[in-house]
Amino acid sequence: MSKQGTTRTRIKQAESRLAEYRRRLKKTGLTDAEIKRVIDPMECLHLQMKEEAGHDEASK
């Protein structure tokens, strides 16, 4: 698999993990604000990964 394909796969897997984690947190009874506080750092890293992947594709 190419590096580009691997990166896309990793991005999709990360999105799935974030969604699953959000569902699990919701089931624990946390408020939306509490869930946001937990998820925001992870989403920030995810967005950074997506940006870096976009820069890699643009530089080719």
pLDDT tens track, the chain, 60 positions: 566 678 888 888 989 999 999 999 999 999 999 999 999 999 998 898 888 887 666 665
Does this model's pTM top 0.75?
no
CB 7 within 8 A of CB 53: yes
Question: Other CB atoms closer than 10 Å to residue 6's CB: what's the count?
Answer: 11
Residue % of the chain over a pLDDT of 90: 52
CB 36 within 8 A of CB 21: no
CB 17 within 8 A of CB 46: no
